[in-house]
Amino acid sequence: MISDLHGNTYAVEKTLEDIKKRSVDQIICLGDVATLGPDPMGVMDLLQSIGCPNIMGNHDEFMIYPETLKYYKTAPFIIDSVEATRLSLKEPYIEFIRKFEKKLEYKISENQTVLFYHGSPDSNTQNILPTTSESELDEAYKNYKYNVFVGGHTHVQMMLPYKGSMIVNTGSVGLPFEEFVDGKEPVILEKAEYATVEFNESGTHIEFHHVPLKKSILKESVSKWDNPLSSHRVRQYS
């Protein structure tokens, strides 16, 4: 499971190289593929080349429903960055995003089921965290019965037991955060994150993976990026 690629082709390429070593049967992308990074179309080219299912993240929705961006509570330069990315995308890439799914279920057996989404099963903007209250979790998951729930969105890896199930956050390939930020400027880690889930006779096994990235390449990738976020990202990688 890969999530929150955010236009970072270098991170996506290194992640796909690492995934190949593990002989996985299926890659699933949990959304937020284009914005906040210097190469949105390059990332989508990579996704189309591997032919994986794609989940609709909130940033993906911004690309096809720009009016929803006004309800997004974040710094103005982030809003400007997202809008600049939307305006830069060629129509075939917009159409590619339109095909993303809201959520996706996998049923391996009666006792091995997974639900994939971006934020929570019914929202691609909800933050599911280790500190999320039980009442909030009950409200978010009350209509769903799966062994494993897998999302992204917060850019922080997490594994949370919940009433006999496991809630997993894959972290972020393109912009992994040191810790969850709520509107504040994040510390971006020099790695890519993803997770795998394996089903076998002994049960369900979840593993987090980290792929080291070179800061010099990350900085170079954004130094000539024509986007309102460019100067912020150069500073973050310095």
Mean per-residue pLDDT for 13-33?
96
Higher pLDDT, 33 or 202: 33
Q: What is the pLDDT at residue 40?
A: 98
Give the H or E element holding residue 100.
none
- The first and second tokens of residue 139, run together, are 């409200």
Separation of alpha carbons 150 and 160, rounded Å: 10
130 CB neighbour count, 10 Å cutoff: 11
3-state SS assignment for residue 216: helix
Whether residue 184 is predicted with pLDDT greater than 90 in this model: the reply is no
Fold of 9-236: Purple Acid Phosphatase; chain A, domain 2 (3.60.21)
Give the global pTM: 0.96
Phi, psi of 115 (to 5 degrees): -120, 125
- For 68-118, the pLDDT digits (tens) are 887 777 778 889 999 999 999 999 999 999 999 999 999 988 888 999 999
- For 75-89, the pLDDT digits (tens) are 788 899 999 999 999
Whether residue 18 is predicted with pLDDT greater than 90 in this model: the reply is yes
